[in-house]
Amino acid sequence: MEAYNQVGIQRRLRRFFRRDGRALIFAMDHGFEHGPTDFEGTWEHINPNVVLKKVIRAGIDGIMTLPGIARIAGKQFHGKDVGLMVKLTSKTNLRPKEDQFLQTPLGFVEDAIKLGADAVAATVYWGSPYEDVMMKNFAEVASIAHDFGYPVVQFSYPRGPYINEKYGKKEDYRVVMYGARAAAEMGADMIKTYWTGSKETFAKVVDAASGVPVLLSGGAKAENPLEFLNVVYNVIEAGGSGAVVGRNIFQRENPEPMIRALLRVIHKNEEPEEAAKAEGLL
Amino acid sequence: MEAYNQVGIQRRLRRFFRRDGRALIFAMDHGFEHGPTDFEGTWEHINPNVVLKKVIRAGIDGIMTLPGIARIAGKQFHGKDVGLMVKLTSKTNLRPKEDQFLQTPLGFVEDAIKLGADAVAATVYWGSPYEDVMMKNFAEVASIAHDFGYPVVQFSYPRGPYINEKYGKKEDYRVVMYGARAAAEMGADMIKTYWTGSKETFAKVVDAASGVPVLLSGGAKAENPLEFLNVVYNVIEAGGSGAVVGRNIFQRENPEPMIRALLRVIHKNEEPEEAAKAEGLL
Amino acid sequence: MEAYNQVGIQRRLRRFFRRDGRALIFAMDHGFEHGPTDFEGTWEHINPNVVLKKVIRAGIDGIMTLPGIARIAGKQFHGKDVGLMVKLTSKTNLRPKEDQFLQTPLGFVEDAIKLGADAVAATVYWGSPYEDVMMKNFAEVASIAHDFGYPVVQFSYPRGPYINEKYGKKEDYRVVMYGARAAAEMGADMIKTYWTGSKETFAKVVDAASGVPVLLSGGAKAENPLEFLNVVYNVIEAGGSGAVVGRNIFQRENPEPMIRALLRVIHKNEEPEEAAKAEGLL
Amino acid sequence: MEAYNQVGIQRRLRRFFRRDGRALIFAMDHGFEHGPTDFEGTWEHINPNVVLKKVIRAGIDGIMTLPGIARIAGKQFHGKDVGLMVKLTSKTNLRPKEDQFLQTPLGFVEDAIKLGADAVAATVYWGSPYEDVMMKNFAEVASIAHDFGYPVVQFSYPRGPYINEKYGKKEDYRVVMYGARAAAEMGADMIKTYWTGSKETFAKVVDAASGVPVLLSGGAKAENPLEFLNVVYNVIEAGGSGAVVGRNIFQRENPEPMIRALLRVIHKNEEPEEAAKAEGLL
Amino acid sequence: MEAYNQVGIQRRLRRFFRRDGRALIFAMDHGFEHGPTDFEGTWEHINPNVVLKKVIRAGIDGIMTLPGIARIAGKQFHGKDVGLMVKLTSKTNLRPKEDQFLQTPLGFVEDAIKLGADAVAATVYWGSPYEDVMMKNFAEVASIAHDFGYPVVQFSYPRGPYINEKYGKKEDYRVVMYGARAAAEMGADMIKTYWTGSKETFAKVVDAASGVPVLLSGGAKAENPLEFLNVVYNVIEAGGSGAVVGRNIFQRENPEPMIRALLRVIHKNEEPEEAAKAEGLL
């Protein structure tokens, strides 16, 4: 017999993951973490109602955003079959450099429940001088969310002055793998992390997560669409469960072909070139 | 700007109501309120997994059930576009006659949240000697549920020795209307109540609810399908928002044609006869 | 991914149920519910340390008892592979006749956790004038226990003046089935109930429970061992998950052969006569 | 159907905003943030009863002040159609320079409720070394206030040693826009921020806020009235929702003509010169 | 008469300790504390289900792991006679060097209860600049766990810049003994600590613990099996209560012979060479 919250966690996870256990999630927290300048090239997307309408129409599986955006654009979700993941921590890039290795709570699990969310998320910068603070905060968020039957997503990002010093870059697979493992050992239900550069190394990240789904963090807009589709293709090949994509979507005037191409790669195992051509991206 | 829980209530209401503001909801709380004998004629439906699979496949908009059933059949809901309404009160018909005018809590708002529900429900027997107890309980349920962004449904049923004495029957439109009004005045987001016998009288119930959606309580299995489709048709004509139907669905070996016919009447305004014929019920 | 309490519930259920999903549990709450006279014939068993030592040595799967007994005889459990089920409600048979249809809390979920229990239990007398009180109490016990990862057992007993009036006897399969169903719809993880007199009727009780394990309540000491083994055999044949047995065990000077015979019937599907002979009971 | 707190938030917002969605709010928190020397030139205004009586008589839409002032001058509000916004954070300019980038709670949401307020406000200095502390505090204030049906105002001010270093000045539209966006993404119901120097740049701030009303922070007393009226005029032209004005009001012996001129610009779209002349300011 | 929680603590301790009061416990928290690279040589063990299945099959007495691992591999425990110790603090070795003298909560006592654990553990680095933080955290964990009847294990490790400075190494028996004593004085039910290099010195550690069982912390993989078996043999000779072993087990392709040899040494007092030979390690 299943616990009530176990039923809720499974039901809510399936609001993101299709039957194949994979998902494409749109990220819209850039206005906070990077500032509105991320939207300079496609300014109308600064309005979450505009960009979310396009993205949902294109068939995205889920949306990840901050509480205030979920409120402003709440009506975009009504009656739509799209998962809502509310992120509960952030930071600006205005704060002093050394404080940017810390993410701060900007809402609570209860806020996500009120908003009708299907999952909550919080960031841990592994290796940061503030690792201690974010780790404890994640533990608290996870405990409350799980009690209410909500899955918890860790944005598991190695980051901080010592990471670069010791490993050369934060995307080194040894530290990405480490962060993913730490997330799994803390009870995360999904892990979002960096691309490690190759299918082989990303497969080790997936191994380290020991069954907890690993999603790619989309990162900066790729120069050409094929480049990004290739990364996502390799994530899937490596056993990853999909991608959380922001700039590669909203920094395009018309994000819909890119979304549809990504859905082809993720859910139909189409080759990137084939998918890109089918959607007129090449 | 909207409150977070306001966003959640709207999002969750739309898990039941289609764009037309109407819904067909399947009720499965009879094992508790009437006993398993309600399933004698179609015994395989005693297993909630069996009946819910059929009902969801037929395209139902939502399911209303008790927490334990939502747990036992939780997997039927995974990845399906169907609203889940968890009822938090009930009674057996084993208890002494006079105690059957009371519904008792068998779960809490938090249980519904854990289960991944989209709404909670509780019964008030208006006119019962226990009206006081149920009224206060409904107020508490509503307060907690609303704070978490969950809509609250009142099963608003005039019932008790004094109702029959004064009005002849509990379905007299004057008492049904009264109950619906009381539900609206307490903050219900949906009202489920009896058929009052005519479109004209049901329209007064809808008026009394002053904008809170009113759904028909399906009641005992009608002798022929057309009879029940006619009632639902008149509910819609009267401004009602749909129906919550149990026995007219699960007491049929094959419930799917009936569900599809009901969906035609509710969402496409089809004439009952036309709908029944289209689904091979006549 | 599983919720933490889901893991605990599964782990703890397996402290009673073997791989075959069946269990034989010893009941020792008679000193409270019936009074110490139940021990008159085998007086040394009034000391829980004496009887529990024998019972555990015989290979019982679990023990059901009240908090104070679990304390007095706690050391019998140390290092033994036996599940501990703590019952949290009871009543004396000293109280006025009509109040004997009510069970009262005599401990809390937290007490069971402190005692190192693996499950909690509470009685509901379905049909009693106090049905309302016990139903609400069970809902509260279940909610707290589930949150802590503890399975909850309902002693689901139709009982009260109206049951006999309407159904002739409390063991009528229609009411036993009803009680089992009500337990399932409230979220019980195991159901303990009466023998309905035949394999066919007990199979309907099992059906009504829709997957929640149903265990036989052993009842008064049978005149000859075979009689009782036959009942248990039929419970298993009907799809039941075992038995909770008190008097048929502790009212025997040497309870071990009976326990071993019951284990044969339950876990090895042995014929009652064969099992009784193998243990020297015939 | 709307949540109860949703109704309260809307009702309370309209105590500030007229039908046109615009408001002129008088700010009186300078005695705390700047010290009483701000009142040197118009010393009788040090008494909040004196200045508030004038300001309310002139037709102001709302008052923003600290809890203690709301208490001392509470009677000015009795029976008056004027919104009361209670600010819950502040700092003195006595504290060490580097600590002035931090605002400290000096009251709680419950205090504002007790005072009969219509909204609460709190400051976040974006980019400050204490950004983390103020951000978390704002999140907590907002969560509590919204639950009680109170709108929340963020004084969203980029400030701190790194802002000047990186952007030249804290009024650079890129950082003002960033702060406004961050406020919106955290659930603010109104945003108060700096003038960015031009209608075009302020329009980007309004865009970034994505529908959350943006009000001008009045700042130091302008040399001539027209200058300040021009700024407010451009705020309105840029899509701003009004202004929160302190020194430009209370540092005038007779603040009423200025208030009336501002109301003309804000609510009647009058040209600044026209408005100033009509009120005898030129 | 015993308090309820006293019964639970004894019952749960015996899920680890056999009748002889000794235990061999497998440690699997290395993915978090050291990173997945600890598994490089035996990569399939990165999956906790793989390694735990082997380890439990070999007859281990208990498992010590982090909450997320207990969840991922929960099914390995079902129906198995093996104690589960959930560790509630950890740190990565990614964090800045000086922060590695701090362990951070990554779960709560309630999480361990939910998971069906039999004990909780937390680390204190005695002598660390963060001794204060961990000491207080341990006190809180112990208080809550004891109330619920759960035993508490202290990983009592002298560590930090001042330890090496003053004592030459952290394994100096004077500091190990001190740490063990401090653990005992705070109410630990088991103490896990370093090997001090000799039977004589370890006996002083055991003395200092004054009856609280002391277990060896296994440490890095020994070059040859005999070396490690000898250490464990001396721990037992010194009055120690067993060992918590990670790398010496999971860094072997086939960990079962090592486990069985350790069980011989611990529970049968076999000479290391004899035990190693019996299991084919020599």
pLDDT given for residue A1 in this prediction: 80
Label residue E144 exposed, middle or buried (CB < 10 Å: 0-12, 13-18, 19+).
Answer: middle
Residue A146 has its nearest CB partner, among C3, C187, C212, at: C3
Q: Cα–Cα distance between C153 and C6 in angstroms, integer?
A: 16
Whether B and C touch, i.e. at least 3 CB pairs below 8 A, reads as yes
**Which residue, among B114, B120, B143, B189, would best test binding to A if mutated, counting the most A CBs under 10 Å from its CB?**
B114
Q: Write out the H or E segment, with its range, that includes residue D24.
A: strand D23-28
End-to-end CA distance of chain B: 51
Q: Cα–Cα distance between A211 and E47 in angstroms, integer?
A: 8
**Which residue, among C5, C11, C56, C86, would best test binding to E if mutated, counting the most E CBs under 10 Å from its CB?**
C11
Residue E32 has its nearest CB partner, among A174, A185, A211, at: A185
Beta-carbon pairs below 8 A across chains C and E:
105
pLDDT at B281 over 80: yes
* Average predicted confidence (pLDDT) for chain B: 97
Q: Please state the length of chain E.
A: 282
If you measure CA to CA, which chain C residue comes closest to B91?
C132
Q: Cα–Cα distance between E226 and E223 in angstroms, integer?
A: 9
Interface contact flag, A71 B7, Cβ < 8 Å: yes
- For the stretch A51-73, what's the b/e string if a residue is b when 16 or more beta carbons lie within 10 angstroms of its beta carbon? bbebbbebebbbbbbbbbbbbbb
Beta-carbon pairs below 8 A across chains A and D:
110
Contacts of B among chains (3+ CB pairs under 8 A): A, C, D
Which chain C residues are closer than 8 Å to E21 by Cβ?
none
Which listed residue (A87, A91, A170, A192) is catalytic? Answer: A192
Whether C and D touch, i.e. at least 3 CB pairs below 8 A, reads as no
Task: Please report which confidence band the pLDDT of residue C208 belongs to, taking 50, 70 and 90 as the band edges.
Answer: very high
What's the token pair of residue C201? Answer: 């009727």
Residue E92 has its nearest CB partner, among A131, A136, A161, at: A131
Query: Tens digits of per-residue pLDDT, A71-112?
Result: 999 999 999 999 999 999 999 999 999 999 999 999 999 999
pLDDT given for residue E13 in this prediction: 98
If you measure CA to CA, which chain B residue comes closest to A9?
B116
Residue C2 has its nearest CB partner, among A4, A6, A149, at: A6
Residue E66 has its nearest CB partner, among A128, A161, A185, at: A185
What's the token pair of residue A149? Answer: 């039957």
Which chain B residues are closer than 8 Å to A72 by Cβ?
1
Interface contact flag, E104 A184, Cβ < 8 Å: no
Query: Tens digits of per-residue pLDDT, A196-223?
Result: 999 999 999 999 999 999 999 999 999 8
Reduced 3-state DSSP string for chain E: CCCHHHHHHHHHHCCCCCCCCCEEEEEECHHHHCCHHHHHHHHHHHCHHHHHHHHHHCCCCEEEECHHHHHHCHHHCCCCCCEEEEECEECCCCCCHHHHHCCEECCCHHHHHHCCCCEEEEEEEECCCCHHHHHHHHHHHHHHHHHCCCCEEEEEEECCHHHHHHHCCCCCHHHHHHHHHHHHHCCCCEEEECCCCCHHHHHHHHHHHCCCCEEEECCCCCCCHHHHHHHHHHHHHCCCCEEEECHHHHCCCCCHHHHHHHHHHHHHCCCHHHHHHHCCCC
* Average predicted confidence (pLDDT) for chain C: 97
Q: How far is the alpha carbon of C216 from chain B, nearest alpha carbon, in Å?
A: 19
Q: Which of D72, D143, D130, D76 is nearest to D104 (CA)?
A: D130
Interface contact flag, C8 E75, Cβ < 8 Å: no
Q: Is D90 helix (H, G, I), strand (E, B) or coil?
A: strand
Pair B109, B150: CB distance under 8 Å: yes
If you measure CA to CA, which chain D residue comes closest to A101?
D132
Pair C101, C133: CB distance under 8 Å: no
- Taking CA atoms, C106 is separated from A149, C86, D58, in Å, by 30, 11, 69
pLDDT given for residue D134 in this prediction: 98
Task: Please report which confidence band the pLDDT of residue D1 belongs to, taking 50, 70 and 90 as the band edges.
Answer: confident
Query: Tens digits of per-residue pLDDT, C69-88?
Result: 999 999 999 999 999 999 99
**A→E interface, C-beta within 8 Å:** 126-129, 131-132, 135-136, 138-139, 143, 158, 160-163, 174-175, 177-179, 181-188, 204, 207-208, 210-212
pLDDT given for residue E45 in this prediction: 97
Q: Which amino acid is at C221?
A: K
Which residues lie below 8 Å from residue B147, measured CB to CB, with a gap of 6+? A114, B5, D147
Interface contact flag, E115 C4, Cβ < 8 Å: yes
Residue A94 has its nearest CB partner, among D178, D185, D188, at: D178
Interface contact flag, E92 A127, Cβ < 8 Å: yes
Region of poorest pLDDT, from A8-22, E44-58, E155-169: E155-169
Query: Tens digits of per-residue pLDDT, A144-197?
Result: 999 999 999 999 999 998 998 999 999 999 999 999 999 999 999 999 999 999
Which residues lie below 8 Å from residue E201, measured CB to CB, with a gap of 6+? E173, E176, E177
Query: Tens digits of per-residue pLDDT, C114-140?
Result: 999 999 999 999 999 999 999 999 999
Which chain C residues are closer than 8 Å to A13 by Cβ?
1
**Which residue, among C1, C153, C154, C186, would best test binding to A if mutated, counting the most A CBs under 10 Å from its CB?**
C1
pLDDT given for residue E200 in this prediction: 98
Beta-bridge mates of residue C193: C216
Q: How far is the alpha carbon of C160 from chain B, nearest alpha carbon, in Å?
A: 8
pLDDT at B1 over 90: no
Pair D91, D138: CB distance under 8 Å: no
Which chain A residues are closer than 8 Å to D98 by Cβ?
none
Interface contact flag, B107 C174, Cβ < 8 Å: no
Q: How far is the alpha carbon of C78 from chain E, nearest alpha carbon, in Å?
A: 5
Interface contact flag, D6 B6, Cβ < 8 Å: yes
If you measure CA to CA, which chain C residue comes closest to E11?
C78
pLDDT given for residue C65 in this prediction: 98
ipTM: 0.95
Query: Tens digits of per-residue pLDDT, E102-136?
Result: 999 999 999 999 999 999 999 999 999 999 999 99
Q: How far is the alpha carbon of C169 from chain A, nearest alpha carbon, in Å?
A: 31
- Overall average pLDDT of the A108-130 stretch: 98
What's the token pair of residue D135? Answer: 């951000």
Three-point CA angle D98, D103, D104, nearest 5°: 115
pLDDT given for residue A6 in this prediction: 96
Q: How far is the alpha carbon of C177 from chain A, nearest alpha carbon, in Å?
A: 19
Interface contact flag, D1 B149, Cβ < 8 Å: no
Which chain A residues are closer than 8 Å to C4 by Cβ?
146, 187
Task: Please report which confidence band the pLDDT of residue C1 belongs to, taking 50, 70 and 90 as the band edges.
Answer: confident
Contacts of A among chains (3+ CB pairs under 8 A): B, C, D, E
pLDDT given for residue B92 in this prediction: 97
Pair C135, B104: CB distance under 8 Å: yes
- Overall average pLDDT of the D181-198 stretch: 98
The number of beta carbons lying within 10 Å of the beta carbon of residue B34 is 16
The DSSP 8-state label assigned to residue D39 in this structure reads: G
Q: How far is the alpha carbon of C77 from chain E, nearest alpha carbon, in Å?
A: 7
Cα E42 to the center of its chain, rounded Å: 21
Query: Tens digits of per-residue pLDDT, B158-172?
Result: 999 999 899 999 999
Which chain C residues are closer than 8 Å to A4 by Cβ?
146, 187
Residue D212 has its nearest CB partner, among B1, B188, B189, at: B1
- Overall average pLDDT of the A36-52 stretch: 96
Residue B114 has its nearest CB partner, among A4, A74, A117, at: A4
Interface contact flag, C78 E18, Cβ < 8 Å: no
Active site residues of C: 192
pLDDT given for residue A156 in this prediction: 98
If you measure CA to CA, which chain C residue comes closest to A145?
C3
Interface contact flag, E1 C71, Cβ < 8 Å: yes
In this structure, the dihedral spanned by the alpha carbons of residues D159, D160, D161 and D166, taken in order and rounded to 10 degrees, is: -40
* Average predicted confidence (pLDDT) for chain D: 96
Which residues lie below 8 Å from residue D251, measured CB to CB, with a gap of 6+? D38, D39, D41, D42, D45, D221
Interface contact flag, C149 A5, Cβ < 8 Å: no
Q: Which amino acid is at E281?
A: L
Q: Cα–Cα distance between D107 and D111 in angstroms, integer?
A: 6
Interface contact flag, B148 A110, Cβ < 8 Å: yes
Beta-bridge mates of residue D65: D28, D86
Query: Tens digits of per-residue pLDDT, E14-23?
Result: 999 999 999 9
Cα C238 to the center of its chain, rounded Å: 17
Q: Cα–Cα distance between B159 and C121 in angstroms, integer?
A: 34
Query: Tens digits of per-residue pLDDT, C90-113?
Result: 999 999 999 999 999 999 999 999
Residue D3 has its nearest CB partner, among B9, B188, B211, at: B9
Interface contact flag, D131 A46, Cβ < 8 Å: no
Using a pLDDT cut of 70, give the percent of chain A over it. Answer: 100
Which chain A residues are closer than 8 Å to B110 by Cβ?
148
Q: How far is the alpha carbon of D277 from chain B, nearest alpha carbon, in Å?
A: 36
Label residue C181 exposed, middle or buried (CB < 10 Å: 0-12, 13-18, 19+).
Answer: buried
pLDDT given for residue E1 in this prediction: 83
